[in-house]
Structure 1
């Protein structure tokens, strides 16, 4: 008796790729806008000597960069898992 997995039982992998791509686009747009706004605020605050606002804006820049890196890594990981699942 041979038992094999039913690969046709899981539909919607192409839909999952489209959703992941759409989420990546949304997250990257928000991260770039956040990066631009935070960098401008950081520059203006540092030039005016407002160190509290400068520190918060610097944190915003780092959060934006981290969010973009995690979003890109998450989509790459999801695509890797989908391709790995097809090889099984």
Structure 2
């Protein structure tokens, strides 16, 4: 005896308030991007100050901060695409 096949797909009318939740998530993405811009700016300042004051520790932390903030911005920008990709990949498993 085999298990019954269950096929449930995401829909946009399943829960009340879904539009409001989408607006909230969009706002969080915007907040995250603004924070990433601030992170790049502050880390760049630390990198410059560390470089000009011959302080390799501060310069290194500034470089790391720039890379982390840029990576965060990339992930925030790609969040919807990443989730869609993995949803489609998972839906293809049978």
TM over 0.5: yes
Aligned length: 78
Give the aligned CA root-mean-square deviation in angstroms. 2.5
Unaligned runs of 5+ residues in structure 1 are: none
Q: Which has the higher contact order (CA 8 A, sep 6+)?
A: 1
| Selected match of 1:58 from 63, 83, 88 | 63
CA–CA distance in structure 1, aligned partners of residues 74 and 21 of structure 2: 20
CA–CA distance in structure 2, aligned partners of residues 62 and 20 of structure 1: 24
TM-score by length of 1: 0.72
- Return the structure number with greater helix share: 1
Structure 1 outlier segments of 4+, above 6 Å: none
TM-score by length of 2: 0.68
Unaligned runs of 5+ residues in structure 2 are: 1-7, 89-94
